[in-house]
Amino acid sequence: MEPVHSLQLDLTYLKQLIGAGLDGIEIARREIDAGVVPSPSRPQVWKPAAIGTTMGILATRSSGTRKSASRTALSGLAGGVLGLGLGLAWASRGLIRHAARTAVRRVNLTRDAHWLETHPINYA
């Protein structure tokens, strides 16, 4: 087999695997009937953001040296963004778990079909 033809087959197989994974995620999203990101109005999202903001401000203030207000605000903002991200990830963990399982199942089905194409079973 030519190397160029083999590369084309590998790229086609890779596209099929990626497509199967994305299809699995889309199927899981439709099954749960939810958006990818939970509503930011949920308290599970804002509590970690508030904790992160407080920790960022306290970490800057407790360093012992006098820091400017802008540096304190920037540290609080960074802590808040980190806390908000963790809160969103925690609130959407059910969707993420279901999407990952569905995507893995779809990818495994594609891998099995590809293996059967390349290794036909002859029951003579």
Three-state SS at 70: helix
Give the whole-angstrom CA distance, residue 36 versus residue 15. 23
pLDDT at 42 over 60: yes
CA angle at residue 15 from 103 to 7, to 5 degrees?
140
Tens digit of each residue's pLDDT (9 = 90 or more) over 90-101: 888 888 888 899
In the structure encoding, which two tokens stand for residue 52, read together? 């992160």
Helices 69-91 and 93-118, packing angle to 10 deg? 60
| pTM of the predicted protein model | 0.62
Tens digit of each residue's pLDDT (9 = 90 or more) over 70-83: 888 899 999 999 99
Three-state SS at 39: coil
pLDDT at 124 over 70: no
* Domain coordinates in residue numbering, the chain: 1-36+94-124, 39-91
